[in-house]
């Protein structure tokens, strides 16, 4: 034991630890940079660039690290590049780790569902904002376990640097054991130090997962204390809070109006119809999803798109929400006109459609709510205000908390989506849409995944929105209850076509088309 303790803290071995950490640091830092570049290059639309990246990955994944280190140290001088042993080992380790880190980055980004990006679009976020605010934070959390394993793997692989005479921990242990013949004590001490180093990496990984995890506690605020049910000491506090909220509401309303005027003509009058569609067609992989859809929906009314799954309701809703580009036809959203045909997909690119959504005051509540899991309820609601409309964080939070409170969610404002019920998540999604004061609110199957009690709550909430009359609402559903309670107009769809169109009473009780009659009888 005395010899073990002696070797454990021997300066000769401690210096080897320093070099081991140095080589590992070069390998991980260089591998991260090169891996990020590789992940982008492999996705390049330039086939030659993509091919070169894939060839690189194939070479470095298919050859042993020990050969790569020998190449970096012995072969590179033949082309005029001479590197010190420690640097050569780090460079070889970086080149070897890069393909694995690239795959880790790619899979982490892919783990963020397309619906999350789509939700960012509905809030008016640019592609850069969606990446920075939505995709990258979630990808970072998803990559943490794999990143920890990559660091530990690189730390152990650094031992191979002994083949090019880098005096790291393993080589120094071998040299020391060869001179003293006390193999057990020396390699036992080296093994303990490797365990310490990997243990530190594991602790850092756990700490980061806890710090950035979805269950981390949120620091409360003075206003949060009121919201959680703790009344202020004096009535003046409540008056001050009300004043703050009124001011914040005015600021938000002003910023939203200013932003829309940047893209729209202030002389535009409120149109008679919020949506007009003429001969819209859309297909996927040669299969028609929408076939010559033509309809007009009056401003300030609620329209229900009714039909079975696969009828084309959601696709039509996304076209109205400018999340999908029809293949052909014409469309008018408020005062904004669109004409689709050959080449329209290139004309109506992501940036153009984002601008059009902002100008028209269009927002969409997606079927699965698509709340951002790394944000609390109040952070979900404030995102569009701060990122899209440039509202200050304090004012945005005032308005967000007020909106959540109005929807009965004051006690849940600082919770993450995973801690909310389906009905509560739907209400947060509605709050997230309402704070940007939409003119056209599109809701895709808002009650499909909810229990009966939550369904009634959502129906009552949307009913209250209808009474205000300042929002045009379009809802897709296959539930007759939703259509009868909310629809001023009901549009029945089947196989991408409008089969019947009229008031809720006419479509649900006086249908003339056999398809509508069969649907009503089956689900009634």
Q: Which long-range contacts (CB under 8 A, 24 or more apart) does 5-10 make?
A: 6/185, 7/176, 7/182, 7/185, 7/186, 7/189, 8/189, 8/192, 8/193, 10/176, 10/189
What is the 3-class SS of 61-83, one letter each residue?
Answer: HHCCHHHHHHHHHHHHHHHCCCC
Q: Average pLDDT for residues 39-49, to the nearest whole number?
A: 85
Are the folds of 235-268+375-436 and 273-361+438-523 the same? yes
Distance CA 182, CA 187 (A): 9
The Cα 316–Cα 294 span in angstroms is: 11
CATH for the stretch 273-361+438-523: 3.40.50.300
The rounded mean pLDDT for the chain is 87
What pLDDT score was predicted for residue 44? 79
Q: Where are the domains of the chain?
A: 2-211, 235-268+375-436, 273-361+438-523
pLDDT digits (tens, 9 = 90+) for 45-97: 888 988 988 899 889 988 999 999 999 998 888 888 888 999 999 999 999 99
235-268+375-436 is a CATH 3.40.50.12780 domain: no
Tell whether pTM > 0.85: no
Q: What is the pLDDT of residues 283-341, one digit of tens each?
A: 988 888 999 999 999 999 999 999 988 889 999 999 999 999 999 999 999 888 899 98
Measure the CA–CA gap between 177 and 181, rounded to whole angstroms: 5
Q: Which fold has domain 2-211?
A: MetI-like fold (1.10.3720)
Report the half-sphere exposure of 314 (CA within 13 A, side-chain side). Answer: 13
Residue recorded with tokens 């929105």: 465
Q: Is the pLDDT of residue 239 over 50?
A: no
Cβ(281)–Cβ(288) under 8 Å? yes
Contact 351, 125 (CB under 8 A): no
Q: Judge contact between 160 and 64, C-beta under 8 A.
A: no
Q: How far apart are CA 100 and CA 307, in angstroms?
A: 47
pLDDT(261) > 90: no
Residue 265 has pLDDT above 80, yes or no: no
* Helix intervals (H) in 325-471: 344-347, 350-360, 377-387, 393-406, 422-434, 452-468
């Amino acid at each position: 034991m005395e010899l073990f303790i002696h070797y454990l803290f021997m300066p000769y071995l401690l210096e080897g630890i320093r070099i081991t950490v140095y080589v590992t640091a070069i390998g991980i830092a260089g591998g991260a940079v090169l891996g990020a570049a590789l992940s982008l290059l492999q996705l390049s639309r330039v086939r030659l660039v993509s091919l070169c990246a894939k060839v690189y990955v194939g070479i470095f994944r298919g050859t042993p690290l020990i050969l790569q280190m020998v190449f970096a140290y012995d072969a590179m001088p033949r082309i005029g590049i001479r590197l010190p042993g420690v640097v050569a080992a780090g460079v070889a380790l970086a080149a070897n780790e890069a393909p694995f880190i690239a795959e880790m980055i790619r899979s982490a980004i892919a783990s963020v569902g397309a619906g999350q990006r789509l939700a960012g679009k509905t809030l008016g976020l640019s592609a850069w904002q969606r990446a920075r605010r939505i995709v990258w934070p979630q990808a970072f959390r998803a990559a943490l376990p794999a990143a920890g394993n990559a660091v530990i793997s690189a730390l152990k692989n650094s031992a191979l640097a002994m083949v090019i005479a880098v005096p790291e921990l393993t080589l120094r242990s071998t040299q020391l054991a060869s001179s003293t013949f006390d193999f057990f004590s020396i390699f036992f001490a080296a093994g303990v130090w490797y365990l310490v180093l990997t243990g530190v990496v594991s602790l850092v990984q756990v700490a980061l997962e806890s710090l950035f995890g979805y269950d981390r506690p949120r620091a409360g605020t003075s206003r949060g204390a009121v919201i959680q049910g703790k009344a202020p000491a004096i009535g003046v506090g409540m008056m001050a809070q009300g004043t703050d909220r009124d001011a914040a509401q005015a600021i938000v309303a002003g910023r939203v109006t200013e932003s829309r005027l940047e893209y729209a003509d202030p002389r535009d009058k409120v149109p008679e119809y919020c949506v007009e569609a003429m001969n819209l067609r859309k297909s996927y992989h040669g299969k028609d999803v929408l076939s010559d859809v033509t309809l007009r929906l009056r401003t300030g009314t609620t329209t229900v798109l009714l039909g079975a799954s696969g009828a084309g309701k959601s696709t039509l809703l996304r076209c109205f929400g400018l999340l999908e580009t029809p293949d052909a036809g014409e469309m008018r959203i408020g005062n904004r006109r669109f004409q689709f045909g050959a080449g329209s997909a290139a004309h109506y690119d992501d940036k153009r459609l984002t601008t059009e959504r902002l100008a028209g005051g269009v927002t969409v509540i997606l079927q699965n709510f698509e709340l951002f899991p790394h944000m609390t309820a109040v952070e979900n609601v404030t995102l569009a205000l701060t990122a899209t409309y440039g509202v200050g964080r304090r004012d945005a939070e005032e308005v967000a908390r007020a909106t959540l409170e109005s929807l009965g969610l004051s006690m849940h404002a600082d919770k993450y989506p995973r801690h909310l019920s389906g009905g509560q998540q739907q209400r947060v999604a509605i709050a997230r849409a309402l704070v940007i004061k939409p003119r056209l609110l599109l809701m895709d199957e808002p009650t499909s995944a909810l229990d009966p009690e939550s369904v009634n709550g959502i129906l009552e909430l949307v009913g209250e929105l209808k009474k205000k009359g300042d929002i045009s609402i379009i809802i897709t559903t296959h539930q007759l209850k939703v259509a009868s309670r909310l629809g001023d107009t009901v549009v029945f769809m089947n196989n991408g076509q409008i089969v019947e169109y009229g008031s809720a009473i006419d479509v649900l009780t006086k249908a003339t088309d056999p398809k509508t009659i069969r649907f009503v009888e089956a689900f009634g």
